Amino acid sequence: MRHLLTTKHLSRDAAIQILDVAEDMADVANREVKKLPALRGKTVVNLFFEDSTRTRISFEAAAKRLSADVINFSAKGSSVSKGESLKDTAQTLAAMGADAVVIRHQSSGAPQVLAESGWIDAPIVNAGDGTHEHPTQALLDAFTMRRRLYNGQSRGRDLDGVGVVIVGDILHSRVARSNLWLLETLGAHVTFVAPATLVPLGAETWPVAISYDLDATLAAEKPDVVMMLRIQSERMNAAFFPNAREYSREWGLDDVRFAALPTDTIVMHPGPMNRGLEISAAAADSAQSTVLEQVTNGVSIRMAALYLLLSGDREALL
Amino acid sequence: MARVVLSQADMQRALTRIAHEILESNKGAADLVILGIPTRGVYLAQRIAAIIQRIEPEATATVPGSGSAMVGALDATMYRDDLSRGRTRTPSPTQIPSGGVDGKTVVLVDDVLYSGRTIRAALDALNDIGRPRVVRLAVLIDRGHRELPIRADFVGKNLPTSTDERINVRLAELDGVEEVSIENRAAEHPEADTARGPGTSTSAPSTSEATS
Amino acid sequence: MTVNTAYLIRGATLPQGTRADLLVQDARITAVGTNLDTGSGLTVIDADGLIALPGLVDLHTHLREPGFEQSETVLTGSRAAAAGGFTSVFAMANTLPVSDTAGVVEQVQALGDAAGYATVRPIGAVTVGLAGERLSEIGAMAHSRAQVRVFSDDGKCVHDSLLMRRALEYVRTFDGVVAQHAQDPRLTENAQMNEGALSSELGLKGWPAVAEESIIARDVLLAEHVGSRLHVCHVSTAGSVEVIRWAKSRGITVTAEATPHHLLLTEDLIRSYDARYKVNPPLRRDEDVRALREGLADGTIDIIATDHAPHPKESKEAEWDAASFGMVGLESALSVAQTALIDTGLLTWNDIARVLSQTPADIGRLADHSHCFEVGAPANFTLVDPSTTSTFDLARLAGKSTNSPYLGRTLSGRVEYTFHHGYPTVGAAAVRPADEVATAAAAWKAGN
Ligand SMILES: [Zn+2]
């Protein structure tokens, strides 16, 4: 694997390899010594053009557990915010000897530009770009599903036949996109549920069922997994839906909807949650909820990704 | 062309002898933990454990469904000194018996002992898991050419080799056949062996290599 | 090749397909025929296998001067025009200061005259500072030495319906035309590429076709209502072609242009996030490209105009959102037209002469332009080798910027010679030096 930019272009074998390696990484987290020497002497740069403490510390923990050195480079708010900054920053990092760059950027495609520009010759990990993709989130979600569904027998397995309903702001969600492509590759079938204003134009050509009615979908699909997406406060002011109350009533996983779910339905949320808006406290804190597991698994997935990107001879990958 | 140096019966005899020697040196099966190094070491460890169980059935508690409580796997991939060379290595699961390794006699099992670098990595990996009372090493083949001060305590067969030669250990579980063969690969891959380092030649040969 | 030389172009193929020798003297074509005499002092150009086209006219060029000289100047932009076979360019008004006063348009025109690579005709802004609020001094610009006839806020849409109506009415006073950049601003806030399944997949904000089509529909109805001439810039969607076809069938005086890139390239290129493909209006779908080609073939689309939009390297070496919109297009326009329209059998060379010379000159009310190779016509023409197929490379670019989407692409044809006012601006596929061209231009001016 040369870069991890999307799940769209991840093969089934490559995806399962990452998930399986993450299983080994997860085992390490249960030991007294939680550290592996695999990336000793390597430098991983977290290049964040957009604030995300959660994602950054997850990558930081992953790199450190593999004994890599970590440099956090927050480009947000600094004078470099437009135009040539990405190039300048990349060349600076290259000159500093970065062995891998984890990039979070508000502009879709920025990680790909970085990977293909020739400004820096290091593996690039997309830690979320605009409304495009967030591949490690999708991988950790798939990892979480696999673990819950197969009880410790998940190595080597895909998600064939698993039903996943993703609810909320699909339009602006890189998590939804990355999840869709990965889940499709792994054999799951996915349904998006959202108000029509928050469904991307052309999504009817994607391998996904689209619904505007959460209750009808939950009743008809009996999904194995319900994934709730965060509603950003700025959407409420941009006429995508009338107000938070109406959104919550129609598309929120409230106590009534949660109680109606079978007790083995997995409830997921990529965080941070708006309790009481897209998900009720009872649903979020239930045994069916994987919210904290997702955080834990995120470190394992990112360890796996960093390990696979940084080990082996880079020339051999060309 | 490959030349068979150990037949299935030879291998069985060697493993049986190793099992007896382990029991003898440990004065029984108490506090014994046998950890195979992936890939083939894991199967060899399971066989040695099974033989020990047959010899001293009362001494080894069995875990229902999962074989012996004394056998497991120790993956050393993440501790290797050559991770940034060659192709990317996928780690294998580490499985430590529920009793852990603290205070135990741990016997590491591998198929071929060559440079010693894999064993060095395994010792480091073991160190991060616990503190055994003593660590021993059992190998099916010792082919010489050590690059580190490491030696095996239990050896199935000493097999002096040239570095141009390649040892293929084939096990029924993985390869369908059960034999150890030796082949000269210098003519076909003059630089491959040095690029991979001697320690890596114990890894599973691909089907193409095995049949070539 | 020096000033005041007479030229004999031997054996050129005229757009209609006939072969002829052309004699060029004193900035005019003085003889057309076969086996013309080679008198002394003539420079003979062997044009066997070359097609002679009337000097190309670009109704939509961004020369960037004044204000953005790091991207292009009138000199470098008109040099790029010459390299592409153009002898006239209409310079868009989004300069700094904006070309919304007589002073700025006269300055642009004067810079063009001095450079001499092509006739530079400034376009005047419709509204002050392109702000879309008050009409600029349209009359003053029309009556200035620059004789402005085309008015446009290009880069921005005149979206206020009442203001657009007034502009259409007002320019009629001077036989002018409003060239509209049709883009509903609210529907395209922060838009990055064509809206559709691909923009959704790539996470780039969509620029819906309806944002263009709805403005064109409104504008043709306004033009009909007030009886004025309307020109639609860079039509990019199949729906827009339909609206214009309908308007023309009603007898509305609307003309429309398509850019070379919208006739060849599609949105799929954006999968690379390579900002060379970032342009406004955006690259569309394959069906849009086909509709535009058919529109040109059936006359719904009147002309090809380049929307040559130079940008410095750093504006394109960036993440997609941060990169600038626009592509250079003067040098490649004819090759793209040949590749997309001639090689596909949709248009003839005579059609190319119409859509890249005659009609744009008519729309812009370009004085002293003749599309016929007849005795007495101004010697503005280009000689093209249609038989070559080559990789378009940096050597083909003659402007200041290199943001061409065609670099590395195989295109047909090549401009071998361009003559402006009887002197060569391109000779043997090489742009003539600036001082030589400026001297020739001064000599022409003195004798005119
Ligand atoms: Zn425009």
Residues C252, C230, C194, C270, CA torsion sign? positive
Q: How many CB atoms lie within 10 A of CB C36?
A: 18
Bridge partners (DSSP) listed for residue B142: B113, B158
Out of C197, C317, C322, the one facing A82 most closely (by C-beta) is C322
For CA atoms C160, C162, C165, C171, give the dihedral sign.
negative
**Of C301, C328, C363, the domain-final residue:** C363
Scan residues 139-178 of A and list those with Cβ closer than 8 Å to B: 155
- Cis peptide before C281, with omega less than 30 degrees from 0? yes
Q: Which of A6, A87, A104, A107 to mutate to test the interface with C (most CBs of C within 10 A)?
A: A107
Is residue C316 located within the same domain as residue C218? yes
Q: Determine the structural domain holding residue C180 and report its residue range.
A: 55-363
C212 located within any domain: yes
What's the pLDDT score for residue A238?
A: 80
Residue C288 lies in a domain: yes
pLDDT confidence of residue A12: 97
pLDDT single digits (tens) C376-397: 999 999 999 999 999 999 999 9
| DSSP for chain B, written as a single string | --EEEE-HHHHHHHHHHHHHHHHHHHTSSTTEEEEEPTTHHHHHHHHHHHHHHHH-GGGS-B-TTS-BTTEEE---GGG-S-TTSSSPPPP---B--TT-STTSEEEEEEEEESSSHHHHHHHHHHHTT---SEEEEEEEEE----SSS---SEEEEE----TTEEEEEE-HHHHSS-EEEEEE-TTT-TTHHHHH-GGGGGSPPPHHHHH-
CA distance B27 to A101: 54
The Cα–Cα gap between C21 and A252 comes to 79
Considering the domain boundaries, does residue B106 fall inside one?
Answer: yes
Residue B111 to residue C256: CA distance in whole angstroms: 78
Residue A2's pLDDT is 92
Q: Which CATH superfamily is domain A135-293 in?
A: Aspartate/ornithine carbamoyltransferase (3.40.50.1370)
Chains B and C touch, using 3 or more CB pairs below 8 Å: no
CATH classification at residue C48: 2.30.40.10
For residue B126, give the chain A residue with the closest CA: A33
Cα of C226 to ligand 1 centre, how many Å? 24
In a domain, B198, yes or no: no
pLDDT-above-70 percentage for chain A? 96
Claim to verify: residue C222 and residue C355 sit in the same structural domain: yes
Owning domain of residue B84:
8-161
User: Which of A20, A310, A312 lies closest to B86 in CB terms?
Assistant: A312
Tell me how far CA of residue B151 lies from CA of A209, B41, B120, B137, B147, in angstroms. Answer: 61, 16, 11, 8, 11
**Å from CA of C279 to ligand 1 middle:** 9
**Total number of domains constituting chain C:** 2
Place of tokens 């994602």: A55
**Encoded amino acid at A204, one letter:** E
Q: How many CB atoms lie within 10 A of CB A67?
A: 15
Among C166, C162, C209, smallest CA distance to C184 is for: C209
**Tokens 């429309």 -> residue:** C256
CB atoms within 10 A of CB B10: 16
Nearest CA in chain B to A303: B78
In tens, the pLDDT along A273-289 reads 999 999 999 999 999 99
B90 in reach of chain A (CB within 8 A): yes
In this prediction, residue B66 has a pLDDT band, given cuts at 50, 70 and 90, of very low
Q: Alpha carbon B18 to chain centroid distance? A: 12
Using the beta-carbon criterion (under 8 Å), do A86 and C319 form an inter-chain contact? yes
Give the domain CATH number at B103.
3.40.50.2020
Q: What number does CATH give the domain A12-134+295-316?
A: 3.40.50.1370
Nearest partner of C201 among B131, A292, A177, B37, judged by Cα: A177
The order of strands in the sheet holding C254-258 is: C150-151, C177-180, C230-232, C254-258, C303-304
Please report how the helices C74-83 and C434-447 are oriented relative to each other, as an axis angle in degrees rounded to 10: 90
Instruction: Please name every residue paired with B72 in a beta bridge, in sequence order, or none if there are none.
Output: B35
pTM for the model stands at 0.91
3-state helix, strand, coil in chain C (%, to 5): 35, 25, 40
In a domain, residue C309? The reply is yes
What contacts C49, CB < 8 A, 6 or more positions away? Answer: C13, C385, C387
Is B208 part of a structural domain of the chain?
Answer: no
Predicted confidence (pLDDT) at residue B124 exceeds the cutoff of 60: yes
Residue C282 is given by DSSP the state: P
Check if the beta carbon of residue B179 is closer than 8 Å to that of residue B11: yes
One domain, residues C46 and C61: no
What is the reported pLDDT for A318?
44
Cα(C280) to ligand 1 centroid in Å equals: 7
Tell me, yes or no, if C307 is annotated catalytic: yes
Contacting residues of B for A315, CB less than 8 Å apart = none
pLDDT in tens, C198-221: 999 999 999 999 999 999 999 999
Q: For B168-206, what is each residue's pLDDT tens digit? A: 999 998 999 999 999 987 655 444 333 333 444 334 433
Asked whether A267 and A286 are in contact (CB, 8 A), the reply is yes
Beta bridge partners of C76: none
In a domain, C350, yes or no: yes
d(CA C358, CA B184): 79
The proportion of chain C whose per-residue pLDDT surpasses 90, expressed as a percent, equals 94
Quick one: CA dihedral C76, C82, C83, C89, positive or negative? positive
- Intervals of chain A under pLDDT 50: 79, 81-84, 318
Tens digit of each residue's pLDDT (9 = 90 or more) over B2-58 = 899 999 999 999 999 999 999 999 999 889 999 999 999 999 999 999 999 899 886
Q: In CATH, what number is assigned to the domain containing residue C290?
A: 3.20.20.140
The helix or strand, by DSSP H or E, that contains position A46, with its residue range, turns out to be strand A43-48
Are C107 and C246 members of one domain? Answer: yes
Q: Let me know the angle formed at the C-alpha of B116 by B111 and B119, rounded to the nearest 5 degrees.
A: 70
A313/B86 Cβ within 8 A: yes
**What's the pLDDT score for residue A247?**
94
How far is A66 from A209, CA to CA, in rounded Å?
40
> In which residue ranges of chain C is pLDDT below 70?
1-4, 38
Question: Is the CB of residue C174 less than 8 Å from the CB of residue C139?
Answer: yes
Torsion of CA C422, C428, C432, C438, to 10 degrees: 0
Q: Which amino acid is at B29?
A: A
Residue in B77, B87, B93 closest to A316 by CB: B87
Q: Decide: A124 and A114 in contact? Cβ < 8 Å.
A: yes
Query: Do C129 and C100 meet the contact criterion of CB atoms below 8 Å apart?
Result: yes
* Domain total of chain B: 1
Q: Is C400 helix (H, G, I), strand (E, B) or coil?
A: coil
Sign, Cα dihedral of C317, C318, C320, C324: negative
Residue of C82, C359, C12 whose CA lies nearest to C24 = C12
Find chains touching chain B: ≥3 CB pairs under 8 Å. A
Q: What is the mean pLDDT of chain B?
A: 85
pLDDT at residue number B184: 86
Cα–Cα distance, C331 to C425 (Å, whole number)? 13
Any idea where the domains of chain A sit in the sequence?
12-134+295-316, 135-293
What are the percentages of helix, strand and coil residues in chain A, rounded to 5? 45, 15, 40
Residue B59 confidence class, pLDDT cut points 50, 70, 90: low
> Does C393 map to a domain?
no
8 Å CB contact of A201 and C315: no
Residue C165: Cβ within 10 Å count: 18
Q: Has residue C135 been placed in a domain?
A: yes
Chain A residue with Cα closest to B100 = A31
Q: Are residues C351 and C412 in the same domain?
A: no
To probe the interface with A, which of C201, C316, C403 has the most A CB atoms within 10 Å? C201
